[in-house]
Amino acid sequence: MNDQETTSTRPYLIRALHEWCTDNGLTPYIAVRVDESVQVPREYVNGGEIVLNVGFDATGSLQLGNDYISFKARFGGVARDIVVPVDRVLAIYARENGQGMAFPPETSPQTAQPVAPEPASGDPARVVQLVSSEPAAAPGEEPPQDPPPSPPTQPTRPALKRVK
């Protein structure tokens, strides 16, 4: 198989992160770019995107397929059928700690154009903010380094700290 014939890794990564969240008692959420191919309640779409709880407690008949994610969910007490093409998933992450993965926009099979690229203006109204436990450097910036140690002026005596 060449690169054009291989399947996308996105559905496999979504399933893996969904399983990781579930195994660790976390709530998996997906951020979705909404267009005409996405079946969600339009009244809950904000800025062309929607965030969906895809945990087993919030969904019925959840199917994480290679092409579509489908399930039943309640919105305002009303049961709805949800269908999301996998290529419209922007990210999957744990609600409790923000750990997860964001995906680059894929090309649409109908138009072969990028699907709704993100604005370059640095819009702060992003739906998903993934949090890392490590400090990150800004693009084009060196990662922060510890300041060089200053020479001691007087010898210091070692001390022990009691940890209970």
Query: Is 123 among the domain residues?
Result: no
Query: Is 160 among the domain residues?
Result: no
Show Cβ contacts of residue 21 under 8 Å, excluding neighbours closer than 6 positions. 27, 28, 55, 94, 100
What pLDDT is attached to residue 113? 37
Query: Is 140 among the domain residues?
Result: no
What pLDDT is attached to residue 112? 36
Query: Is 40 among the domain residues?
Result: yes
Q: Which letter does DSSP use for residue 80 in this model?
A: E
Query: Is 149 among the domain residues?
Result: no
Query: Is 45 among the domain residues?
Result: yes
Look up the pTM and report it: 0.64
Q: pLDDT band at 20, cuts 50/70/90?
A: very high
Q: What is the pLDDT of residues 131-160, one digit of tens each?
A: 444 455 555 555 555 555 555 555 555 555
Domain that holds residue 93: 10-102
* Structural domain total, the chain: 1
Sign of CA dihedral 151, 153, 157, 163: negative
What pLDDT is attached to residue 146? 54
Is 137 or 99 the better-scoring residue by pLDDT?
Answer: 99
Q: Do residues 82 and 73 touch, judged by C-beta distance below 8 A?
A: yes
Assign residue 59 the CATH number of its domain: 2.30.30.220
Query: Is 68 among the domain residues?
Result: yes
What pLDDT is attached to residue 122? 45
Mean pLDDT of 37-53: 96
Query: Is 110 among the domain residues?
Result: no
